[in-house]
Amino acid sequence: MNTKTKIAFSCYFVAILCIACIALTYLFTPHLLPYQEQAVGVNWSEIEHGFQMQFLSLMKVSGGGYLSVAAALAVLLFIPFKKGENWARWAIPAIGIPAITLVNYAGLIIIWNTPGRPPVFLGLIIDVFFITGLILSAGMNTVTAVKLSEKVETQL
């Protein structure tokens, strides 16, 4: 990997780590997060048990989804991207950007309609890492094209 591709790898890796941290927060938090309490206007201890369980189950489902996305992206990063396969440089942001943008959209709905203030800036930073990784990995297609042409020549 050249220097630009190594930096792209790092950008993708940081974005994936951020998604994994969000996932783990949602999976292992035993109550609403502060912005969620602000959004519903009630402290956790004041919420009826049935509603607590519903909120927690939704958080676990969200966390599991984020963790699945992070795991899939990590596989793409550490196997095909690291091998220099050009399609992986496109696949990683093609999966990551929509996933995080949807999370940010949900956060904006909370901001627009409640006093809750989720950290949507983190999603923007993650998207910037994905876009930067895509731009910096642009030279990968040349490496892949050279590898393909060498394979064709050896087969002839």
Model confidence at 125, pLDDT cuts 50, 70, 90, reads very high
Helix H or strand E segment including 55: helix 49-76
Work out the average pLDDT over 134-147: 69
Question: For position 2, what pLDDT does the model report?
Answer: 87
**C-alpha distance from residue 90 to each of 12, 40, 98, 128 (Å):** 11, 39, 13, 15
Structure tokens at 13: 């890796």
* Count of alpha carbons within 13 angstroms of residue 140, beta-carbon side: 24
pLDDT at 23 over 60: yes
In this prediction, residue 145 carries a pLDDT of 46
- The 10s digit of each residue's pLDDT in 56-106 is 999 999 999 999 999 999 999 999 999 999 999 999 999 999 999 999 999
pTM of this prediction? Answer: 0.85
Instruction: Give the Cα separation of 57 and 75 in Å (integer).
Output: 27
